[in-house]
Amino acid sequence: MKINLEFKKVDTLIRLAIQEDIFTGDITSNILIPDNLVVKGSFVAKENGIIAGLPVVEYFFSKLNKGILLKQKVKEGAFVKKGETIAEVRGSAKTVLTGERIALNFLQRLSGIASLTKKFVDRIKPLKTSIMDTRKTVPGWRYLEKYAVAVGGGVNHRMGLYDQALVKDNHLDIMRSKLLYDVPANVSVIERAVSILKQETKKGILIEVEARNMDEVKDALKSCVDVILFDNMNIKQLKKAVKLVKGWKAVCKARLPLTEASGNITLENVRLVAQTGVDRISVGAITHSVKAMDISLEINLSKNV
């Protein structure tokens, strides 16, 4: 499946990377390497994994020198084995050496995210539950990190606070304090929150509610919310919550809400969570705790480049 990458959304990040690493120039390469020397380098996998970020690397090199050519040896999203050549880069030796670390930073981190995501996705096959990312990303990297999740077979959650409403425990606790809203005795704070959001948000904006116990799940169901997030529930609680949702006699004109599990999801327990019947599992670890994939750039020193 082809995943579109909008380069205008990564332009600022690439310019920042160039500014912080290269700035006024690569002192070592500028002094030691001849201007007219052309080399070929190979990006080589030092471990097994899923490759993500090749278009970013190509776009980055084009910003340094339009004469740099990148030839992909594998497709974006492909699984590679240790020792396999991922791509070849050819052009000015100065440019290749100057851009090496930035290129690897993008390729290693994005491939690490795609690889870990794929492990989670594979762990729950053939169940129909989706693995989703979160907003736990490196500042400035969110678009690319979510792109890498998609390359690894995951599904993107909201991009930010602006494209989906998600009522979390802190929202509810503040509303319960009655500092901002008076909630009638016969209406739960969740129902009140969802009702207000439905009135104030644009059509098409999903509304999701975080539920910590069965009472909150029931309140979310009464509110006709789009998605219910089961927060930090154990397997027994998740089974009960999913059963409650699926058995709910909808009073709304829409379908039953989607169900989502979140909190302390690992490769060891993700299948058990998926087997509860939840529609989605959000995993913060696939972006905030990922290990960069080990990839190196090896320069070909032969005369025939």
One-letter identity of residue 105: N
Q: How far apart are CA 257 and CA 235, in angstroms?
A: 20
Residues of the chain predicted below pLDDT 70: 1-2, 178-184, 253-254, 302-305
Q: How far apart are CA 60 and CA 89, in angstroms?
A: 12
Pick from 58, 280, 25, 286: nearest CA to 152: 286
Task: For residue 58, give the 3-state DSSP assignment.
Answer: helix
- What is the dihedral angle through the alpha carbons of 59, 61, 62, 68, rounded to the nearest 10 degrees? -130
Q: Which of 101, 212, 239, 240 is catalytic?
A: 101
In this prediction, residue 17 carries a pLDDT of 97
Q: How far apart are CA 123 and CA 145, in angstroms?
A: 21
What's domain 7-119+290-300's superfamily in CATH?
Quinolinate phosphoribosyl transferase, N-terminal domain (3.90.1170.20)
Pick from 251, 263, 187, 186: nearest CA to 225: 251
Tokens matching residue 81: 């084995």
Q: How do 165-167 and 49-50 pair as beta strands?
A: unpaired
In this prediction, residue 176 carries a pLDDT of 82
Pick from 82, 134, 77, 156: nearest CA to 265: 134
Burial class (CB in 10 A: 0-12, 13-18, 19+), 35: exposed
In this prediction, residue 186 carries a pLDDT of 81
Q: Is 84 one of the catalytic residues?
A: no
Q: How far apart are CA 206 and CA 253, in angstroms?
A: 15
Q: Which of 125, 168, 176, 243 is catalytic?
A: 168
What residue ranges do the domains of the chain occupy?
Answer: 7-119+290-300, 123-288
CB 194 within 8 A of CB 223: yes
- From residue 159, alpha-carbon distances to 3, 40, 104, 146, 230 in Å are 16, 38, 25, 8, 20
Segment 136-164, tens digit of pLDDT: 999 999 999 999 999 999 999 999 999 99
What's domain 123-288's superfamily in CATH?
Aldolase class I (3.20.20.70)
Q: Which of 76, 145, 231, 279 is catalytic?
A: 231
Q: Is 63 one of the catalytic residues?
A: no
In this prediction, residue 301 carries a pLDDT of 76
Q: Is 136 one of the catalytic residues?
A: yes
Please list the helix, strand and coil fractions of the chain in percent, rounded to the nearest 5, in that order.
40, 20, 40
In this prediction, residue 182 carries a pLDDT of 66
Pick from 123, 152, 167: nearest CA to 287: 152
Q: How far apart are CA 110 and CA 149, in angstroms?
A: 8
In this prediction, residue 179 carries a pLDDT of 58
Q: How far apart are CA 175 and CA 51, in angstroms?
A: 45
Q: Which of 145, 210, 226, 279 is catalytic?
A: 210
Supply the pTM of this predicted model: 0.94
Going by the DSSP 8-state scheme, the letter that residue 290 receives in this structure is P
Q: Which distant-in-sequence residues (6+ apart) come within 8 Å of 207 by Cβ?
A: 164, 165, 166, 167, 194, 197, 198, 201, 225, 226, 227
